[in-house]
Amino acid sequence: MTKRHILIADDDASIRALLRSLLEGDGYRVSEARTGGEVINLLSDGKPVDLLLMDLRMPELSGMDILQRITDQGLGVPVILMTAFGTANIAIKAIQLGAHDYITKPFEIEDVLVTIRRFFEYQELTAEVRALRTQVGARDPTERIVGRSSCMLEIYKTIGKVARTDATVLIMGETGTGKELVAETIHFNSLRRTAPLVKVACASLPETLLESELFGHEKGSFTSAYTQRKGRFELANKGTIFLDEIGEMSLGTQKKLLRVLQEREFERVGGNVPIKVDTRVVAATNKNLLEEVEAGRFRADLYYRLNVITIHMPPLRERKDDIPFLVEHFLDKHRFAPGAPPAKITDEAIELLMRHDWPGNVRELENTIERAVVLAQGGVITGRHLLLTPVSTNRIIDVGDRVRNGVTLEATIADVERLMILEALRQHGGDRSAAAHALGLPRRQLLARMRDLNIEPALETAAAPVGTGASAPS
């Protein structure tokens, strides 16, 4: 085991020497700093320090200032303060600022050692608890991937081979094919499983916001940057970052991302201190990235960086043999009531599911089953409950007929809107963000329109077909 590294910060050379011999004798590795500036330099240096043992009263920067900087700069080092006897108020303030503990001077040698040992014990315990909690709480997503078709078996093999490496993985596939599920599976089967898996939806943010989301920003770097903030890359340090919908990333952001992939280093927006991270990258897209490269919308060099290992998620229509297994899985997942047994489904209904084309892939299938369970009220699911392909919604609106029948322009526009929204929801398996994207609307606006038009979220595809005259104002 490597020795724990303690940084002693005190302007008094005799105290530093005393603590050094004491701590080295107890098996720690020790460094020394004489001033606040030295402390910050050593910490920013990137060499890991497990504990900072710091005098409150120091030249240049006081212990309080240093604590503040440690928090602000996200240096993440635990601190035990040494304060002169009788300054309890300051000690309390120090704890509030994030110091872990404090020792009063003059100190007993044994007190120092006990305080430090206790700190490391506490740290080990919390790490253990956190690890246990992720294992229990996040239940291994591997158990949730269903499918025995040969293409899925190939995918499991690839995941098995790459999960424990740090290789960048690019997951391509249509909407709802399970890209995010695969990304989770890779993370939870990797050595990084106890560290965070941080997800970023690249399509949902404008360029400047996305950059500050990814890389963080310094205070005042743009109008709304009131405080300094860590980016997702930093939050995912030692873990995995999942860059979803990477095909939507602007060329400017792509350039910055390329640098992170090449050098594992970046600066916060508005900052100039390079930050090093150890973050594994998994990216997903439903676009054909090679086509995007050819069209000049995606950087070729970034494409090749991402494309170290590529996993192609097959559309559900190309692996229909998996449908019965998926149905069984979703019936188990979506019970009519908590504790109720999984609903039953007729062979005829399965037959219909096998014949459907599933443009929204597994997500559409899952939504269909979830809805059928509700519609069947806990009874047996039949074809009636599936509400597949609402053929009539695609009917073209007969303008001549409408004008003749006095249907207003407003009512007709509302009908067209309803049809477009329902169709977009259907094609994207009920995913409203994807539907909004397809319609060229901000998600919020789509939700507002759905409310105005009375489109039932759970029953999108079940809405009444719109025929001529049917919606004439009364």
Q: Of all residues in this chain, which one has the CB nearest to Mg ion in the complex?
A: 180
Shortest distance, position 296 Cβ to ligand ATP, whole Å: 23
In the bound state with ligand ATP, the residue whose beta carbon lies nearer, of 316 and 386, is: 316
- What residue 329 binds from ligand ATP, Mg ion, none (CB within 5 to 8 A, per partner kind)? ligand ATP
Residues in contact with Mg ion by the rule CB under 5 A? 180
Q: Map tokens 């094609």 to a residue.
A: 427
- What residue 66 binds from ligand ATP, Mg ion, none (CB within 5 to 8 A, per partner kind)? none
- What residue 255 binds from Mg ion, ligand ATP, none (CB within 5 to 8 A, per partner kind)? none
Shortest distance, position 145 Cβ to ligand ATP, whole Å: 5
In the bound state with Mg ion, the residue whose beta carbon lies nearer, of 101 and 180, is: 180
Q: Is 362 in the site for ligand ATP (CB under 6 A)?
A: yes
Q: Is 145 in the site for ligand ATP (CB under 6 A)?
A: yes
| Contact characters 196-235, ligand ATP, x per CB under 6 A | ----------------------------------------
Q: Which of residues 413-432 bind ligand ATP (CB under 6 A)?
A: 431
- What residue 434 binds from Mg ion, ligand ATP, none (CB within 5 to 8 A, per partner kind)? ligand ATP
Residue burial 413-433, b: 16+ Cβ < 10 Å; e: rest = ebbebbbbbbbbbbbbbbbbb
Report residue 162 CA to chain centroid gap: 20
In the bound state with Mg ion, the residue whose beta carbon lies nearer, of 36 and 430, is: 430
In the bound state with Mg ion, the residue whose beta carbon lies nearer, of 60 and 180, is: 180
- What residue 177 binds from Mg ion, ligand ATP, none (CB within 5 to 8 A, per partner kind)? ligand ATP
In the bound state with Mg ion, the residue whose beta carbon lies nearer, of 26 and 180, is: 180
C-alpha to C-alpha distance for 269 and 267, rounded to whole angstroms: 6
Shortest distance, position 244 Cβ to Mg ion, whole Å: 5
Q: Is 317 in the site for ligand ATP (CB under 6 A)?
A: no
Shortest distance, position 193 Cβ to ligand ATP, whole Å: 18
Shortest distance, position 185 Cβ to ligand ATP, whole Å: 10
Q: Which of residues 168-197 bind ligand ATP (CB under 6 A)?
A: 173, 175-181
Which residue among 9, 99, 146, 249 contacts ligand ATP (CB under 6 A)? 146
- What residue 362 binds from Mg ion, ligand ATP, none (CB within 5 to 8 A, per partner kind)? ligand ATP
In the bound state with Mg ion, the residue whose beta carbon lies nearer, of 36 and 247, is: 247
Shortest distance, position 389 Cβ to Mg ion, whole Å: 23
> How many chain residues interact with ligand ATP (CB under 6 A)?
20
- What residue 239 binds from Mg ion, ligand ATP, none (CB within 5 to 8 A, per partner kind)? none
In the bound state with ligand ATP, the residue whose beta carbon lies nearer, of 38 and 244, is: 244
Q: Is 144 in the site for ligand ATP (CB under 6 A)?
A: yes
* Cβ-contact 164, 191 below 8 angstroms: yes
276: which strand partners? 265
Q: Which stretch binds ligand ATP (CB under 6 A): 9-17, 79-87, 140-148, 225-233?
A: 140-148
For 266, counting Cβ atoms within 10 Å of its Cβ (0-12 exposed, 13-18 middle, 19+ buried), the class is buried
In the bound state with ligand ATP, the residue whose beta carbon lies nearer, of 54 and 249, is: 249
Q: Could you tell me the two tokens for 189?
A: 């089967």
Residue burial 445-469, b: 16+ Cβ < 10 Å; e: rest = ebeebbeeeebeeeebbebeebebe
C-alpha to C-alpha distance for 158 and 62, rounded to whole angstroms: 53
Residues within the interface to ligand ATP (CB under 6 A): 144-147, 173, 175-181, 286, 326, 329, 362-363, 366, 431, 434
